[in-house]
Amino acid sequence: MRYLNYLFLLQYKPTIKRQVLGFLVLFLTLCSNAEGQTNTLNKSSINLQETNGPRWVKGELVKAGVLNTPDFSFTDDFGAYQQFSNIKGLFFNGLDYNGKQTKVFCWYGVPNGLKTGEKRPAVVLVHGGGGTAFPGWIKEWTDRGYIAIAVALEGQVPGEKVEHSNGEKLWPGHEFSGPRRIGFFEDVVTKKLEDQWFYHAVADVMLATSLLKSFPEVDVESIGISGISWGGILTNVITGIDDRYAFAIPVYGCGFLHETPHYSSLLTHLNKEQRQFYLQNWEPSLYIPLQEHPTLFVNGTNDFHFTMNSFTKTYETSKNEKHLYVEHNMKHGHSPGWEPEEIYAFADYVVKKGTQPLIPRFKRLRKNNELVYGYNGKVTKVYLYYTTDTADWGRDNYTWEQTTMHFSDSKKIISGKLPENSQAYFVNIIDSEGLMYSSPMRMVKKNSH
């Protein structure tokens, strides 16, 4: 029963359990006659009496018109920054900000050689903090046969970064810009929902999706979404309330941010009302159990912002088809975030009937510390990663050690010795095409295997 996914919310602190229980009761009532039905994103599915949580946010966005095709126009104003002939700029109308109409800049690209009447799969690209709409990111997708749209989420337009009086370097903006991000949700409560940056960012991505669906060259059943860092956070939230995506690939960004060293510290800068608003309305872990599409979760072992404890918990909370790519010491950034070939292979698997990703499945950890996994497909290499210290997930000297494991393609078994004093571990397997996929991290239970 899909609504039972909400039970995971009860892990939150007692200060918000009362609200969560109230929400659960209301949701059970609404869904009591809907068992087995497919969730659709339409106005009739929204209970507008709710005043917090994903259904309330979804209702406000639907009322604002994010499912409608926005007015748009292509632009040649930024020809100096048009790096590729198959990628061009456009503006579409965003939601009102402070009572005034906004416009959102995007780069839009199609594969070279696209024929009239031909349809291709597409992807919406969601940048992270300090980023913008990157033509190079679009080209990675168009070179592989996808249509792609990259959305500038803080009112940016192409150009060089400009240093402001406070020393911060920002991308240039324009007169119809929406809000910029203010720290870690520092504008919640201080501004109405419809004027908060995160609300506009979610809306802009959903509007870009609505725009894609209106283009005749787009296969509307094969639209995916991929976001990097803050874009990964947004991807996890958006796909919990918008079921129009065929696949999702959040990179770095995850849920349970209040359990990471970095973001839990930033949350202390908010007052009690702001923290509660975030936990009840924007925390990605509220949205992840609502997702219905195949997802590839991508991260590095030592990411400062999105640590392995919260990242793994995000993966485990997901109820849909899911796969993992965890790179040892992966750098944090936009370019490193779109480089892994596994990202594009995963999209091909979903919308082009490509090869299914390898799935290492934990079988047992014996008393002699022998670790056993099963797998599917053809394997060429297997690596075990383990750490002997999980006291502080964000500590600078936190390390993962690598060792090889044995595997049998005839028996589809992986085996190896887990070193003594290991506290957490996971496995990476590499297939015959050199693609790498990961098992979820597991914690070692003391005196129990």
- pLDDT of 214-264, one tens digit each? 999 999 999 999 999 999 999 999 999 999 999 999 999 999 999 999 999
Letter string b/e over residues 62-88, b meaning 16 or more CB atoms within 10 A of that residue's CB: bebebbeebebeeeeeeeeeeeeebbb
> What is the per-residue pLDDT for 167?
78
Maximal C-alpha separation, the chain: 67
Going by C-alpha positions, the residue among 315, 447, 328, 310 that lies closest to residue 390 is 310
Calculate mean pLDDT across residues 46-70: 86
Q: Provide the terminal-to-terminal Cα distance of the chain, rounded to the nearest Å.
A: 31
> What is the per-residue pLDDT for 48?
40
> What is the per-residue pLDDT for 438?
98
Helix (H) or strand (E) holding 214: helix 197-214
Calculate mean pLDDT across residues 199-220: 98
Helix (H) or strand (E) holding 203: helix 197-214
> What is the per-residue pLDDT for 77?
95
> What is the per-residue pLDDT for 50?
65
**Domain coordinates in residue numbering, the chain:** 54-351, 361-443
Confidence tier at 45 by pLDDT (50, 70, 90): very low
- Tell me the two tokens of residue 87: 């990628």
pTM: 0.88
Query: Residue 38: pLDDT above 60?
Result: no
> What is the per-residue pLDDT for 42?
43
Tell me the H-state helices in 318-408. 334-338, 341-351
- Tell me the two tokens of residue 430: 């590499």
Lowest mean pLDDT among 62-76, 154-168, 200-214, 360-374: 154-168
CA 279 from centroid of its chain's CA atoms = 18
Q: What is the DSSP letter of 243?
A: -
Q: What are phi and psi of 426, to 5 degrees?
A: -155, 170
Going by C-alpha positions, the residue among 306, 305, 302 that lies closest to residue 329 is 302
pLDDT of 82-138, one tens digit each? 999 999 999 999 999 999 999 999 999 999 999 999 999 999 999 999 999 999 999
* C-alpha distances out from residue 179 to 98, 100, 208, 277, Å: 9, 11, 17, 19
* Residue 142 contacts residue 157 (beta carbons within 8 Å): no
Question: Cα separation of 207 and 162, whole Å?
Answer: 28
- Tell me the two tokens of residue 124: 């919406």
Query: Residue 288: pLDDT above 70?
Result: yes
Question: Cα separation of 267 and 270, whole Å?
Answer: 5
- Which residue is it, tokens 């219905």? 292
Going by C-alpha positions, the residue among 298, 409, 305, 311 that lies closest to residue 344 is 298
- Supply the mean pLDDT for the chain: 89
> What is the per-residue pLDDT for 34?
38
* Amino acid occupying residue 45: S
Query: Residue 395: pLDDT above 80?
Result: no
* C-alpha distances out from residue 91 to 138, 299, 327, 385, 421, Å: 16, 32, 36, 46, 56
Rg of the chain over CA atoms, in angstroms? 22
Confidence tier at 165 by pLDDT (50, 70, 90): confident
pLDDT more than 90, % of the chain: 82
Other C-beta atoms lying within 10 Å of the C-beta of residue 360: 23
CA 254 from centroid of its chain's CA atoms = 6
* C-alpha distances out from residue 444 to 79, 146, 264, 420, 448, Å: 56, 42, 25, 10, 8
> What is the per-residue pLDDT for 49?
45
* Residue 213 contacts residue 121 (beta carbons within 8 Å): no
Query: Residue 23: pLDDT above 70?
Result: no
Query: Residue 43: pLDDT above 70?
Result: no
Question: Cα separation of 285 and 42, whole Å?
Answer: 23
Confidence tier at 33 by pLDDT (50, 70, 90): very low
Domain 54-351 shares a fold with domain 361-443? no
> How is domain 361-443 classified at the CATH fold level?
Immunoglobulin-like (2.60.40)
* Residue 236 contacts residue 269 (beta carbons within 8 Å): no
- Give the right CATH number for 54-351 from 3.50.50.60, 1.10.630.10, 3.40.50.1820, 3.40.50.300: 3.40.50.1820
> What is the per-residue pLDDT for 234?
98
Q: What are phi and psi of 75, to 5 degrees?
A: -135, 145
